[in-house]
Structure 1
């Protein structure tokens, strides 16, 4: 199994996951043109995509969904509540491409197993995703206000975890956002701070060489270096050595991460091509 975070942040989000038989996107939060360009940057022809999975209906996750699905006739999977709350800008998606994958359910597409993970966010019915192919596992969990035991259990032990580290609390409090927006971000249906991300990861990670990508960073209220340092310090305070027991990686809003291979611990570390 291979993957690339095509985009991550408040300006747009999308993840590419592939196996030998399957190529899927999680979210399509850039324009169709931008998604095509980012796929080509990692050597992927958009015509070879198999399906799209949607986590929730916010525009930074569905901006290019309608055009992409219609242009390439791609099946689209999301829960019923998300289908009902898609913004009108997505446009009509042909009924033959619309599929319901309810929260907590799982699906097998060729050689890829997909499981949904319920999360707390101010959307209709937001979810994260857990992917499995043979012994290889990858999960993406962003856009959540807090981490409960169910999330911890579902992602503990995965090979690669794409995990929200949205904001630095002090940067947010001192920043220019209106107070109602700050309150939303800080709420249980908002976004994880760097500190909360680190504390949750300390509970989730087993220290067996997992790779964690810090994702959905706020452009105005965070810095990549600050997110990395905050999470690193929290993990190392609990006895996990970053660079040995666990590996931290950045994601970007303006370019994709390199296409990398997920391998189970017994097979060694990912191929960082």
Structure 2
């Protein structure tokens, strides 16, 4: 499976997963123009997208959904409660309700031989999930917007060759930054976002021998920056004896505004 970020950050998220035959998006929280431009860089035509899998209803994950669907009417998959929230979001404009199909965590669906499975996460949304996508050759995972994790989530994300995992904020930057205290408390809470340290700790439990590529995603514009996220996660992985020098292993930060390479 291929994995690439078109955009990943607190201001907008859209992730590409696919292989030579099949192409999917996880979230559509940026403009249709940016989605199409990102896909073009990956040599993927937007007309070939076979489905959009939505993690939750926050605007940085769905803001471009309505405009994209009016041009490219593809199926949209999300939990039933997330679909209800999306369809009640007036800013998306008119969308065809018949495009939406509900999914259930831990009950995978199959499309063209590809297995897509949603897993439960803790976040302050109606019914948020993360996703793993696999074919006969490999498995990839995308997990952002969760404030804590447990063995269930660790197990679900294990076995991935490539991962995009949230590394949202530096705790010190958040604490001394301009956010009001209730917002800081929300971000640090169990239904908020993973700090750089916690992202490294989570990855240290998830990474196995088959894991070769890690993207750090959903970085906060105000409370983090790429070099800090990278170094903090790297230190945590080394503390947990993860071999970062093994052949073909990469650890990189997904940009908030520009597509990554396709892994």
- Aligned-pair distance for 1:47? 1.3
State which drifts further: 77-86 or 90-99.
90-99
Deviations 1:199-220 (A, max 9, x none): 1111222244431111101111
- Aligned-pair distance for 1:4? 1.4
Deviations 1:183-210 (A, max 9, x none): 1100000000001111111122224443
1:208–1:106 distance in 2 versus 1, CA, 3 Å:
closer
CA contact (8 A) 2:115 2:133 kept: yes
What residue number does 1:204 align with?
Answer: 206
Structure 2 alignment gaps of length 5 or more: none
State the alpha-carbon separation in 1 of the partners of residues 219 and 245 from structure 2: 21
Structure 1 alignment gaps of length 5 or more: 261-273
State the alpha-carbon separation in 1 of the partners of residues 40 and 144 from structure 2: 25
1:208–1:94 distance in 2 versus 1, CA, 3 Å:
closer
Deviations 1:59-81 (A, max 9, x none): 00001101111211111111110
Q: What's the secondary structure of 1:188's corresponding residue? A: coil
Do residues 34 (structure 1) and 37 (structure 2) align? no
Q: What's the secondary structure of 1:85's corresponding residue? A: helix
State the alpha-carbon separation in 2 of the partners of residues 206 and 33 from structure 1: 37
CA RMSD of aligned residues (A): 1.3
Q: What's the secondary structure of 1:131's corresponding residue? A: strand
What residue number does 2:232 align with?
Answer: 230
CA contact (8 A) 1:56 1:127 kept: yes
CA contact (8 A) 2:3 2:162 kept: no
Aligned partner (choices 235, 253, 256) of residue 256 of structure 2: 253
State which drifts further: 29-38 or 205-214.
205-214
What residue number does 1:239 align with?
Answer: 241
Q: What's the secondary structure of 1:116's corresponding residue? A: strand
Kindly tell me the number of residue pairs found equivalent between the two proteins: 260
- Aligned-pair distance for 1:41? 2.1
1:106–1:89 distance in 2 versus 1, CA, 3 Å:
same
Aligned partner (choices 160, 163, 172) of residue 161 of structure 1: 163
What residue number does 1:15 align with?
Answer: 15
What residue number does 2:72 align with?
Answer: 72
State the alpha-carbon separation in 2 of the partners of residues 229 and 236 from structure 1: 10
State which drifts further: 247-256 or 181-190.
247-256
State the alpha-carbon separation in 2 of the partners of residues 158 and 18 from structure 1: 14
State the alpha-carbon separation in 2 of the partners of residues 179 and 238 from structure 1: 32
Q: What's the secondary structure of 1:182's corresponding residue? A: helix
**TM-score, length-scaled by structure 1:** 0.91
State the alpha-carbon separation in 1 of the partners of residues 127 and 230 from structure 2: 29
**TM-score, length-scaled by structure 2:** 0.95
Equivalences for residues 153-192 of structure 1 within 5 A: 153-192=155-194
State the alpha-carbon separation in 1 of the partners of residues 61 and 96 from structure 2: 19
- Aligned-pair distance for 1:149? 0.7
What residue number does 1:271 align with?
Answer: none
Query: What stretches of structure 1 move > 6 A for 4+ residues in a row?
Result: none
- Aligned-pair distance for 1:95? 3.1
What residue number does 1:113 align with?
Answer: 115
State which drifts further: 135-144 or 95-104.
95-104
